[in-house]
A and B are shown apart, each in its own frame.
Chain A
Amino acid sequence: MAMRLEVPPEAVTADQPGSKEKPRNKPGGWKLAIKRDWRLYTLVLLPLAYFAIFRYLPMAGNVIAFRQFQPGGSIFGEKWVGLKYVTLFINDPSFWQAFQNTIILGVLTLLFCFPMPIIFALMLNELRSQKFKKFVQTVAYLPHFMSVVIIAGMILQNFSMTGTVNQIANTVFGTTVNFTQDAAWFRPMYISSEVWQTMGWGAILYLAALTRVDESLYEAARIDGANRWQQTWHVTLPAIRPTIITLLILNIGTFMAVGFEKILLIYNPLNYQTSDVISTYLYRVGLESSNFSYAAAIGMFESVIGLTLILSANAISKRLAGTSLW
C-alpha cells in the first residue's frame, strides 16, 4: 500500500525477474538439486510461506466478490452468487463518482507530480557548488521520511482557516477559504501537497542516472556548437530517457491506487464529491458498513484495471521506446 511513496527502482534492476534468459539447464533433476542445495531451500521456506499466506491467499480470497460472505465464516465465502455484486456496483452512482474522482486525481498526479522530479533533478544538475547541491537534496528528501499521518496533520493545519495558506489569502485577497472542507478545493490541496511530498525524493533516480551520463557526449555536443540548453535537450534528456520511461510505467501502474492512506486521513464527508476515490469508497463500504463481498468486487475491479494499465504501458513503451520493465 505504501508502494507509491517509495518510487521503487526495482524496475531498473528488474531485468532478471521474468527475463527471457532461461535458467541454465543442469543435468539431473530436482532430486540432485535438493540433495546439493537443500540448505538453500530451507532458507526459502519461510519467505515462501509468507508470500503464500499474506500475498497469494488474499488474492484467492477475492472470490468472495462472487460469493456470499459470512463474517466469521470461511474466508472464501459460503455460496456462489455469480455477478450479483458486480452488477450492484455497476449500478451504484457513488461508485462512479469515486471512479471519476480516481481518474481525475490520477491524471492530475501524473501531470504535476511526474514531471516535477525530472525538472528538479535537471536544475540540481546545473548547480556548480556540490555543497549547495547536497544541501538542497538533504532538505528536499525530508518529506519522504515522514509518516503519512504527520503529512496529513501538516496539510490540515496549513490549509486550516487560520493556517498559513489562509493567512496569505487574507493578506493578498482579503478573504479566507475553508480549504479542508470545500469540495472545490480538495484537488488543489491534494495535488500541491503531493508535489511537496514527492518532488525531492522522486528526483533521486534521475540524479543517479545523470551521474552516469558520459562526459564525452557533452564534449562532442559542445564542439558541434550546442549551447547549454541544446546540450540538455540532446544529451541529458535522451540519456535519462530509460529512467523516465521506467518510472512513467510504474506511475501508471499505481494510477488507480492514488494516495489512499493520505486521502483517508484528510478527506471528510463535506468533500466526498471530489475527494472520494475507489479505494476510500471500498474502505467505507467494506469495513465501515461490513459489505465485504461488495467491497471485494470493487477492489478486484480496481486491481484488474491497475494490472491492465501497467501491462499495456509496458507493452506500449516496449514497442515505441524499446524500454520495458520485463
Chain B
Amino acid sequence: MVKGATVKGTAVKEPAAKNGQVKEGPVKPARKDTGVLVKDMKVSRSMRVFRVVNLAFLLVVVFLTVYPFLNILAQSFSSEGFINAGQVNLFPLGFNTETYQLILADPVFWRNYGNTVLYTVVATAISMVLTTSFAYAIAKKELKGRSVFIGIAVFTMFFNGGLIPNYVLITSLGMRDTLWAVVLPNAISVFNLLIMKSFFENMPRELEEAAAIDGLTQYGVLFKVVLPLSKAIVATMVLFYAVANWNSWFQAFLYLDNPDLFPVTIYLRNMIAGVTTAGSAGGTAENVGQIAANIQSVTIVLTVIPILCVYPFVQKYFFSGVMLGSVKE
C-alpha cells in the first residue's frame, strides 16, 4: 500500500533518529529493536541470524576490498624468488627494499612524478576558473539565455564527439606533446558544474541583493560575497578535479610522445604493458615478468601514497559533494 512516490516529498531524516531508537549494544540481541512490538519478538531469532550473516558478509567485503592493496604492498617488499614461486599474498617474503631504492633513484620516475604534480595543479586551476564562472552565471535564474547555456553543457553528458574526432582536433590544434593536450580537453566536468550550480542556487539571495545595493558590481558580488561563503564547495570541487587529474592517463597516453612529459601514470602503464608482452612471450620471459611484478608493485605503492594521504579528506568531501548534488531543492 505504501507508494514510493509518497516518500519523496517528506522531510530529511537523520539516520541517528532510527539508530538512537534501535541502539542496544551489538552483543545483546535478546531484546529486539524497539522492543515494543510482538511481531518483532517473534522473528527475533531469524533477525539475530540475519545480523550475524550481514556482519560477516560486510567483513568479507572489507577484506576483499583491502586485500589487493595489501597484496601489492607485500609484493613490493618481497624478493622475486618468492613472488615467482607464487607464495606471496598478505605478507612480504624475503624482505627486500632494493627495488624501492632502484625506483627512487630513477630520474625518469621523479620527472614523471613532477609532471603529474604540474598537470594536476594547472588542470585543476583551469577547471576551477571555468567551472566556477559558468556555474555562477547559470545559477542566476533571471539570466536570459540561461536554459540554453545549461542545455549546451548537459547535452555533452549524453553525446560526445568520440575518440577519433577528438584526436584529430587536438592534433590539428598543434597541442600534441604539450601540456595543453592534457589539461584542456576535459577542463569542465558537467557533473561538477551541476553540483556547483545547485550550490549557488541555494545561496540566500538577500546577501547578494544587499551587496548589490551597497554598490558592488556582479563581479564584486562574486568575489567579495559569494566566493568567501563558498569555501566548502570550492574545496570539494578542487578535490574532485585534483583526484581526477592525478589519476588520469589516457589524454597523456594519446597525445604525449616525449617521455620527458609523461605523468607517472604513463610510467606505470608502460611497465604494465611491458609485463604483458614479456608474459605472452611465454617460457623464459616468465622470469622477466615476475621481476617486473615486484617493480610494478613498488611503483603502484609510490603512486598511491599521495592519494591515501588525502583520502580521509577526499572521502568526506566527495560524500558531501555527492549528497549536495543529489538533494533536490
Contact = CB atoms under 8 A, between A and B. Distances in A.
Given A24-B142, A48-B152, A228-B43, A10 B10 contact: no
Interface stretch (B66-74, B95-103, B106-114, B230-238): B66-74
A29 B8 CA distance: 38
Interface residues of A, number: 137
A149 B272 contact: yes
Interface in B54-110: 54-55, 57-58, 61-62, 64-69, 71-72, 75, 83-89
Nearest to B166: A58
A181 to B, nearest CB: 6
Nearest to A216: B10
A66 interface: no
Interface string B290-329: 1001001100100110010001101100110011011110
B191 A8 contact: yes
A197 to B, nearest CB: 10
A242 B165 CA distance: 36
B269 A265 contact: yes
Chief secondary structure at chain A's binding surface: helix
Contacts of A270: 280
Contacts of B61: 120, 136, 140, 199-200
Given A208-B323, A279-B163, A167 B86 contact: yes
Contact of B293 (A26, A58, A157, A164): A157
A59 interface: yes
A50 B142 contact: no
B4 A239 contact: yes
A157 B75 contact: yes
Nearest to B150: A17
Given A154-B68, A164-B89, A23 B144 contact: yes
B247 A147 contact: yes
Interface in A81-139: 120, 123-124, 126-130, 132, 135-136, 138-139
**Candidate in B140, B146, B271 with the most chain A CB atoms within 10 angstroms:** B146
Contacts of A302: 162
Given A123-B54, A152-B272, A157-B296, A62 B165 contact: yes
B185 to A, nearest CB: 5
A140 B292 CA distance: 28
Contact of B249 (A147, A181, A279): A147
Contacts of B64: 196
B188 A299 contact: no
A150 B133 contact: no
A214 B3 contact: no
Nearest to B15: A211
A296 B84 CA distance: 43
A34 B51 CA distance: 62
A283 B166 CA distance: 12
**Candidate in A167, A176, A220 with the most chain B CB atoms within 10 angstroms:** A167
Interface of A: 1-3, 6, 8-10, 12-18, 23-24, 26, 30, 33, 37, 39-41, 43-44, 46-48, 50-51, 53-62, 64, 69, 72, 75, 120, 123-124, 126-130, 132, 135-136, 138-143, 145-150, 152-154, 156-158, 160-164, 166-167, 170, 176, 180-181, 196, 199-200, 204-205, 208-215, 217-218, 220-223, 225-228, 234-235, 237-239, 241-243, 253, 261, 265, 268-270, 279, 282-283, 286-287, 292, 295-296, 299-300, 302-303, 306-307, 310, 322
20 contacts: A12-B328, A13-B195, A17-B153, A54-B185, A58-B166, A61-B164, A126-B51, A128-B19, A145-B311, A149-B268, A154-B68, A157-B75, A162-B293, A200-B61, A221-B2, A234-B1, A268-B276, A283-B163, A303-B162, A306-B158
Interface of B: 1-5, 7-8, 10-19, 22-24, 26, 34, 36-37, 39-40, 42-43, 47, 50-51, 54-55, 57-58, 61-62, 64-69, 71-72, 75, 83-89, 129-131, 133-134, 136-138, 140-147, 149-154, 156-169, 172, 184-188, 190-191, 194-195, 198, 217-219, 222, 243-244, 246-250, 254, 265, 268-269, 271-273, 275-276, 279-280, 286, 289-290, 293, 296-297, 300, 303-304, 307, 311-312, 314-315, 318-319, 322-323, 325-328
